[in-house]
Amino acid sequence: MMGWAITACSSSSDCFREEVFCAALVTDTLGIDDHGINQDAWAGLLDAKENQLADRVEYIESVDARDYEKNIAYFANLGFDLIFTSGISLADATLRTADLYPDSSFAGLSQPFEESRPNLASLTFPEDQMGFAAGVVATQLTTTKIVAAVCETSGIGSMWRYCEGFRAGVKYADESVTAIVVYRENGDREKLFIDETWGYDTGAELINRGADVIFAAGGVTGQGALRAASEYGVYAIGAERDQAAELGESGSGVVTSFYGDARFEVQEMTRRMREGEKARAGVGAIKFANLPAQIPPSAISGLEALLTMLKTGQIQANIPPEKP
């Protein structure tokens, strides 16, 4: 089954015409209203349309992972110039479709490709820097001087970078604060990113050990830890999307979340491609959801400065891409 949405910003413009530039988005199974990369990527395409960087923009919400390749091909067969796919789960389908449709360009959001193609670009976001920033914030919230991170398996590079970045950020900001980092190791692979029970139980255990700030990453697995923090009345910091908006009342303890600024990056890539540049890899900017009132404005300004220094390399998280 294939789900799609033809919005008011789409039209019957013929994408095979050279003067018409068409850009599209294929989401993962979280859909367009995921409070994260899908939602932001679509907002970026709407911005591109408004700023006359694209003549036609559309999206398809994938309802099943088995539809990924078919959904991407749908736009390629219509002659779309640039097709964004969002999330690591679409990486293989994006790579295969790029081979089949050399006349279209493809951009994988949060998809690091080991193989290169002339019509394929990778746009990733620095998980180590996001974790580092979360660690700095955690030191400003803790009163017990114990903070913790709950992450999916360290065998996945992005999870390793998130949580080791958190550890490094805590140490950078306040060496008197203890950072406990726990990965879901040796777990059922069929529960990868969806083991909410493990996430919840691990978060609860860490809170009982004195942690009063919980950082979590790893899809639904991480959300379990955020829910535990909310139920136990301690602070939580999310990743990958605006977890407070995503979880609602069950995420009442989430004070902020760090995730990639896909909206800006999608618009910029659309601009570059329309101007005739070839597809190329890039590292996107980071943003964070609104911080609570207990974080003073000066600290928020300091966090924004920190993110800038991380991006420019003035501060280094020093986390390797994969677990050594």
Listed by start position, the domains of the chain span 22-125+262-285, 127-260+293-312
Instruction: Please state, in angstroms and rounded to a whole number, the distance separating the CA atoms of residues 234 and 210.
Output: 10
Q: Which CATH number fits domain 22-125+262-285: 3.40.50.2300, 3.40.50.150, 3.40.50.720, 3.40.50.300?
A: 3.40.50.2300
Q: Are 221 and 195 in contact (CB under 8 A)?
A: yes
If you average pLDDT over residues 147-174, what whole number do you get? 96
Instruction: Please state, in angstroms and rounded to a whole number, the distance separating the CA atoms of residues 273 and 45.
Output: 13
For residue 152, pLDDT over 70 is answered with yes
Phi then psi for residue 260, to 5 deg, are -75, 145
For residue 207, pLDDT over 80 is answered with yes
For residue 12, pLDDT over 60 is answered with no
pTM summary value: 0.86
If you average pLDDT over residues 172-178, what whole number do you get? 97
Q: How confident is the model at residue 175 (pLDDT cuts 50, 70, 90)?
A: very high
For residue 277, pLDDT over 70 is answered with yes
Residue range 229-244, pLDDT digits in tens: 999 999 999 999 999 9
Instruction: Give the per-residue pLDDT at 297.
Output: 80
Q: Are 121 and 279 in contact (CB under 8 A)?
A: yes
Q: How confident is the model at residue 116 (pLDDT cuts 50, 70, 90)?
A: confident
Instruction: Give the per-residue pLDDT at 114.
Output: 84
Q: How confident is the model at residue 1 (pLDDT cuts 50, 70, 90)?
A: very low
Low-confidence winner among 181-190, 209-218, 294-303 (lowest mean pLDDT): 294-303
If you average pLDDT over residues 188-204, what whole number do you get? 93
List the one residue out of 271, 251, 266, 256 whose CA is nearest residue 304.
256
For residue 4, pLDDT over 90 is answered with no
Instruction: Give the per-residue pLDDT at 75.
Output: 97
Q: How confident is the model at residue 7 (pLDDT cuts 50, 70, 90)?
A: very low
Start-to-end C-alpha separation, the chain: 41
Question: Which CATH superfamily hosts domain 127-260+293-312?
Answer: Response regulator (3.40.50.2300)
